[in-house]
Amino acid sequence: MLLVFDIGNTNTVMGIYDGAKLMKEWRLTSRKQTSDEVGFMMLGLLSSAGIDKGDVEGAVFGSVVPSLDKMFRDGIREYIGVECLRVSAKMDMGLKIRMKNPTGIGADRLLNAAAGIKKYGTPLIIVDLGTAITFDVISEDGAYLGGVIAPGMELGMESLFSRTAKLPQTELAAPEKIIGGNTIEAIQSGIVYGTAGMTEKMIEGINRELGTKCRVVATGGHAPLIAKLCSSIDCVDQWLTLDGLRICYERNSGGKER
């Protein structure tokens, strides 16, 4: 079995694969811990899923939070007993990258692209709706062209509350109408429908620049919410990044970064 995890700014998503089948997944809060805490957490999660640590033959992770990398690597080595491969832009992803500075691309974006091409074909737009909102663009011949990065809904909400003393905190949900009947609905409308509108406009612009209509896949924690409001999104794949980690590990199974 293969242990995979994607360390994000807000959440760490972890999964366990048996071959190409995702057996179980977990969404955890990203926070600083000791390697012992990570190890005990991993053992507890595997045990709750009925998986013995001895069945885990490998591990791989992608991260956009370098300060958390060592604790995960050490915790997995000490408590699960396997070395953990860290994804980097230098590794074989099966991607042609047409960007000025490919080493600056976040691991999660490369993983999404690698999995997206294999699962959905090309041309393709991948919209990742998490702490940040990213649009990754794959050409018809399977090349990663670049994309767009925008603040995510939670960042927008936090910024609004931190700079406006009288506005109440509220959950991220779509109100029934765009015109909010009260302050909470007005905030929800601005954040949620505003994000949906931006998403539609970005997809429209990307398709226009490429001169073709791309298939659009949404992933990330807020993908189900926004996909309901965007006719341009063809499907939601919550675990696309995890599939990318598995694919990356299979292509670099020697366990060495290149």
What are the structure tokens assigned to 230, written together?
């965007």
String of DSSP letters for 100-167: S-GGGS-HHHHHHHHHHHHHH-SSEEEEEESSEEEEEEE-TTSEEEEEEEEE-HHHHHHHHHHH-TTS
Say what the pLDDT of residue 159 is.
80
What does the pLDDT read at residue 258? 37
Contacts of 121 (CB under 8 A, 6+ apart): 215
Beta carbons within 10 angstroms of residue 29's beta carbon: 7
62 sits in which H/E element: strand 58-63
* Whether residue 108 lies in the annotated active site: yes
Domains contained in the chain, CATH given: 2-86 (3.30.420.40), 121-239 (3.30.420.40)
- Can you state the angle between helices 240-251 and 107-120, rounded to 10 degrees? 90
User: What's the rounded Cα separation, in Å, for the pair 168 and 154?
Assistant: 14
**Angle in degrees, 0-180, between the axes of helices 69-79 and 35-48, rounded to the nearest 10:** 60
Whether the full predicted model's pTM is greater than 0.75, yes or no, is yes
Sign of CA dihedral 12, 29, 190, 181: positive
pLDDT tens digit at each of 258 positions of the chain:
999 999 988 889 999 999 999 999 999 988 899 999 999 999 999 999 999 999 999 999 999 888 999 999 999 999 999 999 998 877 888 888 888 777 778 888 999 999 999 999 999 999 999 889 999 999 999 999 999 999 999 888 888 877 766 666 778 899 999 999 998 899 899 999 999 999 999 999 999 999 999 999 999 989 999 999 999 999 999 999 999 999 999 988 754 443
Catalytic annotation, pick one of 6, 108, 136, 237: 108
* pLDDT for the residue numbered 166: 63
